[in-house]
Structure 1
Amino acid sequence: MTHPNSRDRLPQRAAEAQLIHMARFVAPAVAAHVEQTEQQRTLAEPSAKALREAGLFTLGTPRRHGGHGAGVRTAVDVCAELAAGCASSSWLVGIAYGAALFASQLPDAVRTEIWASDPDALLCGAANPSGTVTAVPGGLELGGRWPWISGIDHAAWVLLGIVREDRGRPERGLALVPASELAVADTWHMAGMRGTGSRTATAEQLFVPDERFVSFAEIAEGIGVRRHPGEARVVFPLSINLPLVGTGVGIARGALELVVRDLAGGKRSISPLHTHTADAAPHQLNIAQAATLIDSARLHVRRAADEIDEAAREGRRPDLETRARLRMDGSHAMRCARDAVSLLLDTAGASSFSDDSALQRAWRDIGTASRHAALSVETSRELYGRVLLGRPLPHTDVV
């Protein structure tokens, strides 16, 4: 039976398939500059230009403002394609997607301010609350530091996580500010995901009008579809987090392709039992297990994305148990991707840890990305277990 809205979605589906094709086309271009991106600890300008010209920074920008308004499944697949070439490029596309979804919840006047003059504007942000917040007439005054803002070097607008007082109660949310009004401290010195440029933003007595603030509670309750009828609902926070899992899946898939190519190409074994590594049963099993782990990761994250997209189109928020399961899907997928890379390095051997090895970069990148707080397996397991067992959760809008 045909879904009543399926005919309306056909053009959008074709457009989203084209986005995945474009990501596949752009991946070699960003891969060509991956070393420059790492050395600079921010996205190399040729890579940023390629992503911008391909329209991949505007996956989440509403279509009525010149973007793609893509679903989460498309964002996941786009990020997976890009990550095989450059994990940092992929991560920033995922960050831009999530930030655009956040900004799309704001009033029309603010959305016009963001995108009317630059439909290709890249947005980024830090959801964790930081800094100081003072209520002033007409808005808020911010000060302090917001660390780990991926993509801030290339952003036009930044979303800052804050806590403001609402009728005497703390209210978590995001304040939108022009990137030009922030100072940026070069604090990003990490083992992996070096090219994301996740630096620290600082501000002093920065005024933010009330209309540029949106609370997490409002997003969870569906303020976006009330303000902008006809747009898909953002399922917070899952819509924002899952594309980052796509990055992990892409890293692992790229590592698998490298190791299989090396072994199938005749890599000689260091074992006295075999001439070629590909003939050794333990390594055959490692390859098979790694491939299965990557398939598991892909299946879990795609299932979660499909469920979120369906709920978003229908304008509903999944129930708590479903949200907890979907969060577990994303965290489990990222852990499967990390475990796959570890197995592949067991087979590839110690030479893979040289500084000029793409596998070493994959190991560092997946090790860093998979430990992002939003993708923590430990937290997701506890949340899901509590929900399944009927144990209480603290009041929160981020599950």
Structure 2
Amino acid sequence: MTDPNSRDLLPQGTTTEAQLVRVARALAPVVAAHAERTERERTLAEPSAEALREAGLFTIGTPRRYGGHGAGVRAAADVCAELATGCASSSWLVGIVYGAALFASQLPDEVRTAIWKSDPDAVLCGAANPSGSVTAVPDGLELDGRWPWISGIDHASWVLLGIVREDRGGPERGLALVPASALTVADTWHMAGMRGTGSRTAVASRLFVPDEQFVSFAEIAEGIGIRRHPGEARVIFPLSINLPLVGTGVGIARGALERVVRDLAGGKRSVSPLHALTAEAAPHQLNVAQAATLIDTATLHLRRAADEIDEAARAGRRPDLETRARLRMDGSHAMRCAREAVSLLLDTAGASSFSDDSPLQRAWRDIGTASRHAALSVETSRELYGRVLLGRSLPHTDVI
């Protein structure tokens, strides 16, 4: 498939979530064609960025009121899974932009209008972990410092910076929205995997942020978005934000499975003296079957979690703690299954798959990096879920 003719991929009128997924499937070979350049440049290659922008996939989380798709988590996760079969970094950035749009959608309407009215295609990104220093000033905050690991900052118009501000009740963790043009970007992204995400460091110096451009995680958890904007789905923080990124991991594994199956079914010769073809060897048959089952398991857990979050979001309710802990476990377990599937497939593909020009080698590095994102840690999720199931106490936090 050649580069698409921009929005011609999307039918006229209201776009359904199923149509968004089909668009992502059609774009997978487009971003795949530029995956090497994306990795080499350590940022999303401009042809891929343009294709995603023109197809409307950077606006799947933008509220419909501002020309976006206002898509649910299940659709975002499926979109990311489709794109990741072609380019994991492209997929990850679509997931990041989706999550950042959900965060920004919690802000007052005058802020949302400033973001999207003049530019419905505005790309947002951010770093949720608190960093930098915060000083209270009249009518707002002043920020100084560095915020690392901001995926997509090279293409962003607005950036959400994780901060802790002092409120009357004590420290309050949340996000400050700032224009990307007000930040300096330090080129600190030198990683083994997910190189094309361009997750560089933002630097702020005495940057003023009006009070209305800050939203706390506690406010998001309590449903400030649906109080401010009736009729929109509730954001279930952090699950609404994190689950699409799990879709990237599932898509990486699917792409690896498709490639290995194609190579084996195409007559790849065996290095074993027992078989002429690799596909004839029972151990490799079992590896492929196990990898496919792990990918199915990952998909089922991801979709179950996403469907439950969408149902709760549409109803405007926040799931109880045990359900949230289980759904977080769903996402982390899905990512771990995807990583294990890729490992099995590389066992079957052999040492040649680790050559620098092999897409399987990139898949191995990408899933190895993405699956260890702090928000997707299976170790943390397992401990949280176990504590909840056993009635053990948890520290007060709004990020579970």
Q: Tell me the TM-score normalized by structure 1.
A: 0.97
Does 1:311 pair with 2:312?
yes
Does 1:365 pair with 2:382?
no
Q: Secondary structure at the match of 2:391?
A: coil
Inter-partner Cα distance in structure 1 for 2:309 and 2:18 = 18
Amino acid in structure 1 at the alignment position of 2:187: D
Tell me the CA shift for residue 374 of structure 1: 0.2
Q: Work out whether residues 302 and 334 of structure 2, in 8 Å CA contact, stay in contact via their aligned partners in 1.
A: yes
Q: Counterpart of 2:115?
A: 114
Amino acid in structure 2 at the alignment position of 1:314: A
Does 1:390 pair with 2:397?
no
Q: Counterpart of 1:257?
A: 258
Tell me the CA shift for residue 26 of structure 1: 1.0
Inter-partner Cα distance in structure 2 for 1:348 and 1:241 = 31
Inter-partner Cα distance in structure 2 for 1:62 and 1:25 = 24
Q: Counterpart of 1:147?
A: 148
Q: Secondary structure at the match of 1:284?
A: helix
Inter-partner Cα distance in structure 2 for 1:257 and 1:230 = 41
Inter-partner Cα distance in structure 2 for 1:144 and 1:267 = 53
> How do residues 1-399 of structure 1 correspond to structure 2 at under 5 angstroms?
15-399=16-400
Tell me the CA shift for residue 14 of structure 1: 5.9
Inter-partner Cα distance in structure 1 for 2:352 and 2:87 = 21
Equivalent residues, number:
389
Q: Secondary structure at the match of 2:302?
A: helix
Inter-partner Cα distance in structure 2 for 1:270 and 1:31 = 29
Tell me the CA shift for residue 25 of structure 1: 1.0
Deviation string 1:21-66 (CA, Å, 9 cap, x unpaired) is 1101111111110011000000000000000000000110000011
Query: What RMSD, in angstroms, separates the aligned Cα atoms of the two structures?
Result: 1.1
Shift in alpha-carbon separation, 1:13–1:392, aligned structure 2, 3 A:
farther
Deviation string 1:181-223 (CA, Å, 9 cap, x unpaired) is 0000000000000000000000110000000000000000000
Q: Work out whether residues 88 and 252 of structure 2, in 8 Å CA contact, stay in contact via their aligned partners in 1.
A: yes
Amino acid in structure 2 at the alignment position of 1:75: A
Q: Secondary structure at the match of 1:360?
A: helix
Percent identity at matched positions? 86
Tell me the CA shift for residue 344 of structure 1: 0.1
Q: Secondary structure at the match of 1:318?
A: coil
Deviation string 1:115-164 (CA, Å, 9 cap, x unpaired) is 01000000000000000000000000000000000000000000000000
Amino acid in structure 2 at the alignment position of 1:70: A
Q: Work out whether residues 15 and 69 of structure 2, in 8 Å CA contact, stay in contact via their aligned partners in 1.
A: no
Inter-partner Cα distance in structure 2 for 1:130 and 1:320 = 27
Amino acid in structure 1 at the alignment position of 2:360: L
Q: Secondary structure at the match of 2:16?
A: helix
Inter-partner Cα distance in structure 1 for 2:331 and 2:14 = 23
Inter-partner Cα distance in structure 2 for 1:287 and 1:52 = 35
Tell me the CA shift for residue 227 of structure 1: 0.0
Q: Secondary structure at the match of 1:161?
A: strand
Tell me the CA shift for residue 12 of structure 1: 11
Deviation string 1:320-357 (CA, Å, 9 cap, x unpaired) is 00000000000000000000000000000000000000
Q: Secondary structure at the match of 1:235?
A: coil
Inter-partner Cα distance in structure 2 for 1:12 and 1:79 = 23
Inter-partner Cα distance in structure 1 for 2:272 and 2:27 = 40
Q: Secondary structure at the match of 1:339?
A: helix
Inter-partner Cα distance in structure 1 for 2:142 and 2:308 = 39
Q: Which runs of 5+ in 1 are unaligned?
A: 1-10
Shift in alpha-carbon separation, 1:116–1:212, aligned structure 2, 3 A:
same
Q: Tell me the TM-score normalized by structure 2.
A: 0.96
Tell me the CA shift for residue 15 of structure 1: 1.2
Q: Secondary structure at the match of 1:382?
A: helix
Amino acid in structure 2 at the alignment position of 1:72: V
